[in-house]
Structure 1
Amino acid sequence: MEKERSVEAVETFNKKFNCAQSVLSVFSTELNISKSDCFRIATPFGSGVAFRQEMCGAVTGALMAIGLKYGMDENDSTEQKSYTYDLTTHFISEFRKKHGSICCKDLLDGIDMSTPEGYAKVRELNIFRTHCAEYVRSAVLIGEKILLRK
């Protein structure tokens, strides 16, 4: 039996991969891209972009997947870009409705993990497991509704 994507994403996150890598990689088959390429592409986006704690990495991972599937390329009209923006807006709205924000720092209870003290606090409170794993799971579940449309 095939493993549920959200479970696979959380397992990937609980290994050595960041939130963005974990979300993007579970859609690799549908996007015709290797998991390895997904891991490389998404590496900079974890922890709200390299510990900047801006947009949640789980959100950026899902948005990269949306872009890879629906984004505009050189042969598409601008309507394709508008369509992709609409899907992006929908994803963000759903994630924000569920979690209150798409900002990594907000989602981590305001802790600044760009400092050694903040990062230590996040680890001490086990926030990667208690908070981030849920954001990864949610991003995949919301993303599936968009990416797996027929």
Structure 2
Amino acid sequence: MTEEQINDMFKQGFDCGQVVLSALSSKLDIDEEMAKRVSACFGGGMFSGQTCGAVTGSYMAIGLKNGHCDANTPEIKSKMIELMSDFNDKFLEKYPSTCCKEMLGHDISNPDEMEVILEKGLLTNFCPKVVLNAIEILNEII
């Protein structure tokens, strides 16, 4: 996936978590529609500037590929936690935080600050890079 393709998805109304999860849907054995639906509430840090949607989408991908679903499977859970930690380490090598408003320097849930985000072009210049980096990290670790 390219930054241009990511921007195209943003223009279609999809958010960072949806782009990440749907980009990996075939690798996760789910269809793109399901990927977009399950991750729909996670864009813009859950639309409150909290954990970046690219990060939450990545956690969903890690869980879908490596999550534990049977009782008493600590080895599977440990592997999943290890992968999440690996993702976080690699992500934090590139960005100072996993929090949307800290990364953007503005709170996406505040209408006045959202205007600044749009004026600065962060959603079209910065966020696609974050999404692309998250996808690249996931492709390395899962």
Fold shared, TM-score > 0.5 on shorter chain: yes
The residue aligned with 2:60 is 64
In structure 1, how many angstroms separate the alpha carbons of the residues matched to 2:72 and 2:11?
38
In structure 2, how many angstroms separate the alpha carbons of the residues matched to 1:18 and 1:76?
35
In structure 2, how many angstroms separate the alpha carbons of the residues matched to 1:6 and 1:123?
21
Query: Given the alignment of the two structures, is residue 77 of structure 1 paired with residue 78 of structure 2, yes or no?
Result: no
Alignment of 1:37-116 (within 5 A): 37-49=34-46, 51-74=47-70, 77-109=73-105, 111-116=106-111
Most deviating of 5-14 and 126-135:
5-14
Structure 2 gaps of 5+ residues are none
In structure 1, how many angstroms separate the alpha carbons of the residues matched to 2:41 and 2:128?
18
Q: Among residues 4, 7, 10, which one is paired with 1:13 in the alignment? A: 10
Computed over aligned residues only, the root mean square deviation of the Cα atoms, in angstroms, reads 1.5
> Percent sequence identity over matched residues?
35
The residue aligned with 1:22 is 19
In structure 2, how many angstroms separate the alpha carbons of the residues matched to 1:104 and 1:57?
8
Tell me the TM-score normalised to structure 2 length: 0.92
Give the AA of the match of 1:87. Answer: L
Give the AA of the match of 2:131. Answer: V
Whether the 8 Å CA contact 2:7–2:124 is kept in 1: the answer is: no
Most deviating of 39-48 and 12-21:
12-21
Query: CA 1:10 to 1:65, structure 2 compared with 1: closer, same or farther past 3 Å?
Result: farther
Cα deviation, 1:30-56, whole Å, max 9, x if unaligned, reads 11111000000001110001x211111
Counting matched residue pairs gives 141
Tell me the TM-score normalised to structure 1 length: 0.87
Query: Given the alignment of the two structures, is residue 146 of structure 1 paired with residue 141 of structure 2, yes or no?
Result: yes
- Which consecutive aligned stretches of 4+ in structure 1 deviate over 2 angstroms post-superposition? 5-15
The residue aligned with 2:130 is 135
Give the Å deviation of 1:14: 4.1
In structure 2, how many angstroms separate the alpha carbons of the residues matched to 1:22 and 1:76?
33
Structure 1 gaps of 5+ residues are none
